[in-house]
Structure 1
Amino acid sequence: MNADNVNNIIKVLNSGKDFYQHAIDKVDNSGLVMVFRSMVDARNNALIKLQPFAQMTDGEREAGDSWVVKAREAYADLRAALSKDPDHTYIEQLEEVEDKTLVELKTALNKTSEPLYAAVLKEVHSDIKLCHDRMLNLQKITA
């Protein structure tokens, strides 16, 4: 198990959770608010599952953020301010965060030989894949 991998995943999950919480305050559609809240819950669950591995490798919980996701959040705010459909802008950018999260999970899965960590990564990957697919469908519906 690689400390950098688990920390990178946690940072992306933290930033993604923050971005969804931010987007909840920015969208007008109550259905989107419910979806975004479910995405926050999925990330909280993933963090609960992964934090013990960060503690095993670093001796402490990872609390950082991903600057890539934070930059995407700022970009989404700018684009939404200029858009005729700000809700779609947030959906589009959050779907990109889902892509980034899946990439980090796949990278960690490919680099680990620790069976318990691999099992947890597969479980988290499955949960995040569902989030990704949901956001991708929303993106297609609102396009």
Structure 2
Amino acid sequence: MCMSFALLVAAATILLTTNHATGVSALESTNLARSLQVNEHVGNETRSLRIHELENEDENDEEEENEGDGEEEERAGGANLFAESKLKQMMSGVKLFKRFKNWKAYGLSPGDVSIRLENAGKWDDYKELYFTYQKYYSTI
């Protein structure tokens, strides 16, 4: 029995010391690695995930000027929350709940929304937005 135990230990040692069990050697993995310095810095430019926005920046500025019609951004105190273009987008379902979140973030209750729509003369066209906002107000 002592002989079979010694043979078993020797076989296990040989099996563990050989690197055939892994299938990939340490030398092969270094050949697969590539240098990030070479690939990221082409010329003098740095790599950016938003480079496509920079290329179309001039076109986007012109489009925003045409769409804005002199109105300020939403971030400027909420002055643009009820712009005609935004309300039309909301009626078509585009960014509906995102804009509802903006309304709630500015502290507008459903009652405030109805008053603003009435004061702007937009109640008849956009009263469906009010009813939807009122319905989902507690979950927004």
Assess same fold via TM > 0.5: no
- Category of TM-score, reference length = shorter chain: under 0.3
Higher helix share: 1
TM-score by structure 2 length? Answer: 0.24
TM-score by structure 1 length? Answer: 0.24
